[in-house]
């Protein structure tokens, strides 16, 4: 089937800036009401940003992971929840782009995503397994050409608002817990029964409720590669890098507020350095460290993309894990520092220097695949793998 495709030639940056303006306007109410950032999501669709990663021959614009990470940061500076919706959609899309191009059904699905700007959600977390992404309890059942799946999906961000869900499961009722597949189900192919309400400290607008998922679809919708390969070769890297793009954006906006605060104080008392000036210099250093870490991670991923052995190597996995650990921990330090610089004006809501929302949103970063779990994974690899220490990349 062919869909009308309109490719706008305007830069990603200009289109994302318009979305960010809308997202920023609604960020505080989205957070206070814990509601889906509808305005920002509609703007992403209107600016046709949901299909940019898809190759041009399938109706997209062939955006790289680095370009998408930059947009995650731009949106993260406006509204972290909107940015996370955008990031998670593109993380799911990366599995299709990297592993679905040779499958007729998935190529057609990508055409539809680009043409209709469909929003894709993710269901990996499962009751009884938690964030152990590489294991499933639920199993897909295939009868003839049809597959059926029931999953206790305890966290599905914007599950009620998505047009499709990519969901992990065991590859069959007899399969081991780590023998997994990833299946795309379209909205009219599943039901969601809400089991948990997302009333959280931060990232409230992601509306990551828990659901009992029940789906039935043609078996052709199961991605042809084992999930183990999809996770290792694209999903872990794109998750850690695009999430880090969002988190970096939160930190950038917080630091901008601190800088504005210090500049205002400097204007009030010319000649006397404001008390927060040194702390601002310190926080600028921390921000640059996060940026360098994310930029290096993006370069490593773009370089490794053409080499499946490198993508599946321990060295690459350790590097990506380290990007996630460093960015998720350092942004907390940064926002906390900003709070010290801005004082009560940062602690209070509704001032130009408020960072309460930033701090609450930033706290989700360490839990989004628990840092303890990631450190455990890295520590096992470091028992046999020598860390790459070369400055040549």
Ligand X SMILES: Cc1cc2nc3c(=O)[nH]c(=O)nc-3n(C[C@H](O)[C@H](O)[C@H](O)COP(=O)(O)OP(=O)(O)OC[C@H]3O[C@@H](n4cnc5c(N)ncnc54)[C@H](O)[C@@H]3O)c2cc1C
For ligand X, the binding residues (CB under 6 A) are 84, 88, 121-125, 130-131, 155-157, 203, 206, 208, 364, 367-370, 372-373, 376
- Return the number of the residue (206 or 354) whose C-beta is nearest ligand X: 206
3-state secondary structure of 333: helix
At its nearest, how many Å lie between ligand X and the CB of residue 342? Answer: 25
Q: What is the DSSP letter of 57?
A: G
Can you tell me the distance from the alpha carbon of 381 to that of 377, in angstroms, rounded to the nearest whole number? Answer: 7
- Return the number of the residue (121 or 230) whose C-beta is nearest ligand X: 121
Write out the two tokens for 27: 């960020």
At its nearest, how many Å lie between ligand X and the CB of residue 200? Answer: 8
- Return the number of the residue (115 or 241) whose C-beta is nearest ligand X: 241
At its nearest, how many Å lie between ligand X and the CB of residue 361? Answer: 8
Alpha helices for the chain (secondary structure H): 12-33, 38-46, 65-76, 80-99, 104-116, 227-230, 236-268, 277-304, 308-311, 314-342, 344-347, 356-362, 371-382
At its nearest, how many Å lie between ligand X and the CB of residue 147? Answer: 19
At its nearest, how many Å lie between ligand X and the CB of residue 307? Answer: 28
- Return the number of the residue (219 or 367) whose C-beta is nearest ligand X: 367
At its nearest, how many Å lie between ligand X and the CB of residue 327? Answer: 14
Helix, strand and coil in the chain, % to nearest 5: 55, 10, 30
Write out the two tokens for 283: 């926080």
The maximal CA–CA distance of the chain, rounded, in angstroms, is: 79
Can you tell me the distance from the alpha carbon of 205 to that of 197, in angstroms, rounded to the nearest whole number? Answer: 12
At its nearest, how many Å lie between ligand X and the CB of residue 239? Answer: 8
3-state secondary structure of 198: coil
- Return the number of the residue (65 or 208) whose C-beta is nearest ligand X: 208
- Return the number of the residue (117 or 125) whose C-beta is nearest ligand X: 125
Look at residues 375, 378, 361, 286 and name the one whose alpha carbon lies nearest to residue 330. Answer: 286
Q: Are strands 180-186 and 210-218 parallel, antiparallel or unpaired?
A: unpaired
- Return the number of the residue (113 or 362) whose C-beta is nearest ligand X: 362
- Return the number of the residue (233 or 364) whose C-beta is nearest ligand X: 364
Residue whose beta carbon is closest to ligand X: 130
At its nearest, how many Å lie between ligand X and the CB of residue 368? Answer: 4
Q: What is the DSSP letter of 130?
A: B
- Return the number of the residue (28 or 282) whose C-beta is nearest ligand X: 28
Helix H or strand E segment including 278: helix 277-304
3-state secondary structure of 133: coil
At its nearest, how many Å lie between ligand X and the CB of residue 241? Answer: 15
Can you tell me the distance from the alpha carbon of 319 to that of 297, in angstroms, rounded to the nearest whole number? Answer: 7
Provide CB contacts within 8 A for 80, sequence distance 6+: 27, 202, 203, 246, 249, 250, 357, 358, 361, 362
Q: What is the DSSP letter of 167?
A: E
Write out the two tokens for 202: 């931060």
């Amino acid at each position: 089937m062919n869909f009308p495709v309109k490719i706008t030639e305007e830069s990603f940056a200009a289109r994302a800036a318009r979305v960010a303006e809308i997202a920023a306007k609604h960020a505080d109410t989205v957070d206070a009401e814990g509601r889906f950032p509808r305005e920002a999501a509609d703007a992403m669709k209107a600016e046709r940003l949901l299909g940019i990663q898809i190759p041009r021959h399938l109706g997209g614009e062939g955006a790289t992971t680095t370009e998408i990470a930059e947009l995650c940061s731009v949106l993260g500076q406006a509204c972290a929840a909107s940015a996370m919706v955008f990031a998670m959609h593109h993380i799911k899309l990366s599995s299709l782009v990297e592993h679905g191009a040779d499958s007729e059904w998935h190529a057609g699905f990508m055409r539809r995503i680009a043409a209709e700007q469909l929003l894709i959600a993710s269901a990996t977390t499962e009751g009884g397994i938690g964030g152990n992404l590489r294991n499933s309890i639920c199993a897909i059942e295939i009868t003839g050409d049809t597959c059926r799946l029931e999953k206790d999906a305890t966290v599905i961000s914007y599950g009620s608002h998505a047009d499709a869900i990519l969901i992990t499961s065991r590859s069959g009722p007899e399969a081991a817990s780590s023998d997994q597949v990833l299946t795309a189900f379209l909205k009219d192919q599943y039901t969601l029964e809400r089991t948990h309400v997302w009333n959280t400290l931060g990232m409230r607008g992601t509306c990551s409720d828990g659901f009992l998922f029940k789906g039935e679809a043609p078996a052709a919708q199961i991605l042809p590669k084992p999930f183990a390969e999809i996770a290792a070769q694209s999903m872990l890297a794109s998750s850690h890098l695009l999430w880090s793009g969002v988190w970096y954006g939160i930190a950038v906006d917080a630091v901008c507020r601190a800088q504005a605060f210090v500049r205002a104080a400097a204007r009030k008392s010319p000649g006397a350095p404001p008390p927060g000036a040194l702390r601002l210099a310190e926080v600028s250093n921390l921000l640059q460290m996060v940026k360098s870490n994310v930029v290096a991670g993006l370069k490593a991923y773009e370089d490794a993309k053409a080499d499946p052995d490198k993508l599946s190597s321990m060295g690459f996995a350790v590097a990506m894990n380290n990007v996630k650990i460093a960015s998720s921990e350092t942004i907390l330090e940064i926002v906390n520092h900003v709070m010290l610089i801005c004082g009560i004006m940062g602690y209070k809501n509704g001032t130009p220097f408020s960072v309460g929302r930033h701090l609450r949103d930033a706290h989700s970063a360490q839990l989004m695949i628990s840092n303890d779990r990631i450190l455990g994974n890295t520590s096992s690899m470091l028992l046999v793998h020598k860390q790459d220490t070369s400055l040549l990349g």
